[in-house]
Amino acid sequence: MRADRLVATLLLMQSRGRVTAAELAEELEVSVATARRDLEALSAAGVPVYPQPGRGGGWSLVGGARTDLSGLSATEAQALFLLVGPAAAVSDKAKSALRKLVRALPPTFRAEAEAAAGATMIDPTSWGERDRRRPELVDLLQSAVVRGRKVRLIYTSGTRERSERLIDPWGLVDKDDIWYLLAGTERGQRTFRVDRIVEADLTDQPAERPDDFTLATAWDKVVGEVEQRRSRTWATVLIETRFVPILRNHFGRHCETEAELDGRSRVRIAAPTPLDIARNLAGWGTQVDVVEPPAVQAELARIGRELAGRYAAPTR
């Protein structure tokens, strides 16, 4: 887990004062290139890490070796916790490291550092979408969560309708490179896809947030509701085992291998409707055999008739 390494890197530098990428790589059992990227990531995030070229050089912390984090400014502490915080949702080691870091901070920085750590979480399971880039607005929204400020945004819904909203930002979730904002609105909690936010402006108005709100719990509820909608129809198919990863890329977590025999796999897939499944499978032709249900078979047959009627060669 990269966040574990970033914490270990920082603490190692505090104890030694100066390290080279090679020394760090040996200590953490990673490649020199990986160690160098981690050092650069800390520096880019605002942590006071800087390189010293030449013989006897390496990487150092501004202010020299320390046994705690009292040398970090409030902004630097926030930057560090924004890096480490998301990993705490999926790594017990990162969670433990986070608690230790909080105790090492000066009391005046702890509240904002903890807010930064809880501003973002990672959900590594795909919903079947790939190749997304981190939206530019993520940084602004993270700042709004940490500072507790309302955001005025223009949002485009799934039906392409635009609306202007004033929201209370509660937390961000990175779900396999798709970013979501959980926020309070006049209609209660809502979830916004960040890549559908056209414009966002940070206001000076203090945001409201329920005292019992936790990002992980709120996101679990969102996932449960979405999964229920996305898995209303299940189908069983037979496909060559070598193609299962491609099928899983289409259906995300709604793709379960039940059995394998003679180079073929029996796979269960799900989508909101039989038509949604048929549309995803139609391009496979006879490479996929739908065992059940009849509703998906019927949709595939209908799609086949439509294509044959439109593209069949005219008779002479």
pLDDT digits (tens, 9 = 90+) for 68-125: 555 555 566 556 666 555 555 545 555 566 566 665 555 555 566 566 656 666 665 6
Where does the pLDDT of residue 24 fall: very low under 50, low under 70, confident under 90, or very high at 90 and above? Answer: confident
Instruction: Quote the tokens at residue 127.
Output: 């919903």
Which of 98, 203, 214 has the alpha carbon at shortest distance from 143?
203
Among the four given CATH numbers 3.30.1490.100, 3.60.15.10, 3.20.20.210, 1.10.10.10, the one describing domain 2-117: 1.10.10.10
109 by Cβ neighbours in 10 Å (0-12 / 13-18 / 19+) ranks as: buried
* Total length of the chain: 316
Looking at per-residue pLDDT, the higher value among 281 and 117 belongs to 281
Angle (nearest 5°) at CA 309 between 304 and 311: 90
Please answer whether residues 237 and 281 qualify as being in contact, where contact means their C-beta atoms are separated by less than 8 angstroms: yes
Beta bridge partners of 312: none
SS3 content of the chain, % helix, strand, coil (to 5): 45, 30, 25
Q: Specify the DSSP class assigned to residue 134.
A: -
Q: Are strands 162-175 and 120-123 parallel, antiparallel or unpaired?
A: parallel
| pLDDT (0 to 100) of residue 119 | 63
Residue ranges of the domains in the chain?
2-117, 138-216, 231-311
Same topology between domain 2-117 and domain 138-216: no
| Whole-number percent of the chain with pLDDT over 70 | 72
Average pLDDT of the chain is 80
Pick 273 or 312 by higher pLDDT: 273
What is the CATH number that goes with domain 138-216? Answer: 2.30.30
Quick: pLDDT tens for 177-209: 788 999 999 989 999 999 999 999 999 999 998
Q: Which of 68-82, 142-156, 169-183, 223-237 has the lowest mean pLDDT?
A: 68-82
pLDDT-derived band at 289, boundaries 50, 70, 90: very high
Quote the pLDDT of residue 304.
Answer: 92
Residue 16 has pLDDT above 90, yes or no: no
CATH number at 231-311:
3.30.70
Spatial distance between the Cα atoms of 276 and 286, rounded to a whole number of angstroms: 18
The residues, any chain, with a CB within 8 Å of residue 94's CB and separated by 6 or more, are 1, 3, 4, 7, 84, 87, 88
pLDDT of residue 21: 86
